[in-house]
Each structure stands twice: as C-alpha cells, then as structure tokens.
Amino acid sequence: MLKKKSPTWDFVVESYSIFLCYELIDLDRARQLIPDGFELIKTKIFSDDTPKFYAILGSFNVHTSAFAGTRLEVNIIARNKRNNLLSWVIIDYDTNTLSHDVSKGVIDSTTEYALLTTNYDGTIIVDFNNRQKTER
C-alpha cells in the first residue's frame, strides 16, 4: 500500500531472482545519474570484499497487495544524505505491471512482455521487450 506520509510501496520479492553487481568505472557519469540528495558510497558485496562503488542489475518477480509482475532494474548504490541510509537508487527499469515512479506517480507496464524463469538445468532466462527503448 502506498502511504501519504512515507511514499513507499511494500512489496515481496519472490524466488528465482537474479542480482548482478558491477563495479562502477565512470564515477562522474554515475554521479550525474543519481538524484540530488544522494551521493555515491563504497560498499561490500561480500563480507571479505574491499569496499567499491557498485551498480546492480536485478531481475525479479514481485507482488504487493495490489499487483504482481516482473521487473528489470538498474540501480546504483548511494547514500541518502537526508537519513544517511544506504540505498539502491533506481536509474532505469522495465516492468510488466504497475509501478510507482517518483517523477510520474503510479504508471502502467513499460514492456510488451517480461519473462524471468529457469529451464530444466537451472539456467536463468530473462527476456524483456520494451519497444520504446529498442527503437531509440
């Protein structure tokens, strides 16, 4: 449920999710992508790692009390200066269901179709089609 005082939407990430972490190389470009009020922060993916700046590509099935669907997101890990919390700032996404976009409010699907599954031997299959993005 979307709350007036706290504009977040409680959701459950289901099984068969995949999150790939990539070290950021072009920090100046990454800084341009995150909104005001956030700053890049070094973090560890595993406890014995050296802290680095990261982007995360994630694909997951999700549901709330209002909808269910599949998402593909590009996130940059940053610190929220207002509350000092480490955050996954969504830089871009595609989804086959409703979404709450900070700049646009509640929006409809962005994809023609979205698939996240596994085959018989455990290979993860991610297939999204957003015609507007492929025509650019």
DSSP string, 1-60: -B-SSS--B--EE-SS-EEEEEE-S-HHHHHHHSPTTEEE--B-SSTTSPPB-EEEEEEE
**Residues in a beta bridge with 38:** 80
Query: Looking at residue 65, what is its pLDDT?
Result: 81
Measured CA distances, 32 to 57, 73, 110 (Å): 18, 18, 24
Hunting for tokens 């179709």 — which residue is that?
A: 113
Query: Looking at residue 101, what is its pLDDT?
Result: 75
pLDDT in tens, the chain (136 residues): 445 565 566 788 888 788 999 999 999 999 999 999 999 999 999 999 999 999 999 999 988 887 889 999 999 999 999 999 999 999 999 999 888 777 788 888 888 888 888 889 988 888 998 877 765 4
Query: Looking at residue 52, what is its pLDDT?
Result: 98
Query: Looking at residue 117, what is its pLDDT?
Result: 86
Is residue 57 within 8 Å of 22, Cβ to Cβ? yes
Give backbone dihedrals phi and psi of 47, rounded to 5 degrees, phi first.
Answer: -60, -30
Query: Looking at residue 4, what is its pLDDT?
Result: 57
